[in-house]
């Protein structure tokens, strides 16, 4: 059985849907905090069990009988994040899982400027230490993050953000399809995958041009000093930790941590990944 955590979230749900196109429903299980959100999956024959990264015993039960467990990374930072991942990995070992897969990130490294990438690197170390077969899906940076950064510019036409660097922004649908392909072809990758990315790395200067072509309106790119950006975020009520996290994304991008555009994702899905221009056009269709 293939168990997917976070199956009611953006990536987990899409992955389950793509997986059901490849394997029978009785071979798929999900671990979710609230099973009520996955009752439609249960109706289709998917095994639904309650499981929380904060309740290791629940995860052992949710992972029972797993040939593979896909751990969708937590939306947390620092020790809180790694602790949750450790609990899930330990539960997979106790449940006798044959392989653990984990949604890591293309920039995963202990010396990354971005805290989340340091957390991914620490989690990969935990996987390595289990002695189990494991796969770290080195996902490209989610394009939804770029769209959130662009939301004010959608109204103003001014992309006012810190200095950045090229990022291989990647869509959830492409990553879900690739993840399902890897799960269905068990053992395809051992350890970290190559970067699973969109077709091109773009900085926000390039994004300004994409936005202008998509909308027919002019967009300008204004570089905001890091300190000023942080102060503006705090003034809007953004917590200091979140403001620092956002700044660290730009710092990491300036260092080229997210610049690789790799063909592996296209090889897994059998087609070119959706370009950022199409993702933006879809998101802004009601502009």
Q: Give the domain ranges of the chain.
A: 2-138+172-192, 158-165+199-283
3-class secondary-structure state, position 39: helix
Gyration radius from the chain CA atoms:
19
Angle between helices 240-254 and 226-235 (to 10 degrees): 150
Cα–Cα distance between 209 and 171 in angstroms, integer? 19
Note the pLDDT of residue 73. Answer: 96
Note the pLDDT of residue 86. Answer: 97
Residue 221: CB partners within 8 Å, gap ≥ 6? 159, 161, 204, 205, 207, 208
Note the pLDDT of residue 153. Answer: 96
Cα–Cα distance between 272 and 280 in angstroms, integer? 17
Q: Count of CB atoms within 10 A of residue 166's CB?
A: 19
| Tokens matching residue 216 | 């027919």
Note the pLDDT of residue 128. Answer: 97
* Cβ(143)–Cβ(171) below 8 Å: yes
Cα–Cα distance between 260 and 165 in angstroms, integer? 11
Please work out, in degrees rounded to the nearest 5, the angle formed at the alpha carbon of residue 7 by the alpha carbons of 5 and 12: 90
Note the pLDDT of residue 286. Answer: 66
Cα–Cα distance between 160 and 152 in angstroms, integer? 9
* 118: region left, alpha or beta (phi > 0 left; psi from -120 to 50 alpha): alpha
Phi, psi (rounded to 5 degrees) for 222:
-110, 125
Residue position matching structure tokens 């989610």: 142
Note the pLDDT of residue 188. Answer: 86
Q: Count of CB atoms within 10 A of residue 211's CB?
A: 24
* Cβ(105)–Cβ(138) below 8 Å: yes
CATH class of this structure's domain 2-138+172-192: alpha beta
Can 2-138+172-192 and 158-165+199-283 be said to share one CATH topology?
A: no
Please list the pLDDT of the chain residue by residue as tens digits (287 residues): 999 999 999 999 999 999 999 999 999 999 999 999 999 999 999 999 999 999 999 999 999 999 999 999 999 999 999 999 999 999 999 999 999 999 999 999 999 999 999 999 999 999 999 999 999 999 999 999 999 999 999 999 999 999 999 999 999 999 999 999 999 988 789 999 999 999 999 999 999 999 999 999 999 999 999 999 999 999 999 999 999 999 999 999 999 999 999 999 999 999 999 999 999 999 998 65
Residue position matching structure tokens 């290791």: 56
Q: Topology of 158-165+199-283 in CATH?
A: UDP-galactose 4-epimerase; domain 1 (3.90.25)
Cα–Cα distance between 16 and 27 in angstroms, integer? 11
């Amino acid at each position: 059985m293939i168990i997917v955590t976070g199956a009611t979230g953006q990536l987990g749900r899409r992955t389950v849907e793509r997986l059901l196109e490849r394997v029978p429903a009785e071979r798929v299980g999900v671990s979710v905090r609230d099973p009520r959100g996955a009752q439609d999956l249960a109706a289709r024959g998917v095994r639904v069990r309650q499981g929380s990264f904060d309740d290791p015993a629940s995860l052992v039960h949710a992972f029972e009988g797993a040939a593979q467990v896909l751990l969708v990374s937590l939306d947390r930072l620092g020790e809180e994040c790694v602790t949750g991942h450790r609990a899930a990995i330990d539960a997979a070992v106790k449940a006798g899982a044959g392989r653990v897969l984990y949604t890591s990130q293309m920039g995963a490294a202990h010396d990354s400027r971005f805290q989340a990438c340091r957390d991914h690197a620490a989690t990969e170390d935990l996987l390595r230490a289990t002695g189990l077969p494991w796969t770290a899906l080195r996902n490209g940076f989610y394009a939804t993050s770029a769209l959130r950064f662009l939301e004010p510019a959608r109204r103003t036409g001014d992309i006012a953000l810190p200095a950045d660097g090229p990022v291989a922004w990647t869509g959830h649908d492409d990553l879900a399809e690739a993840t399902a392909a890897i799960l269905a072809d068990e053992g395809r990758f051992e350890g970290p995958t190559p970067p699973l990315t969109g077709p091109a790395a773009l900085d926000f200067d390039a994004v300004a041009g994409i936005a202008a072509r998509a909308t027919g309106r002019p967009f300008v790119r204004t570089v905001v000093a890091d300190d000023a950006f942080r102060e503006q975020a705090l003034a809007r009520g953004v917590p200091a930790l979140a403001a620092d996290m956002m700044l660290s994304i730009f710092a990491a991008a300036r260092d080229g941590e997210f610049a690789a555009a790799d063909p592996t994702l296209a090889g897994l899905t059998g087609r070119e990944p959706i370009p950022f221009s199409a993702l933006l056009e879809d998101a802004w269709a009601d502009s």
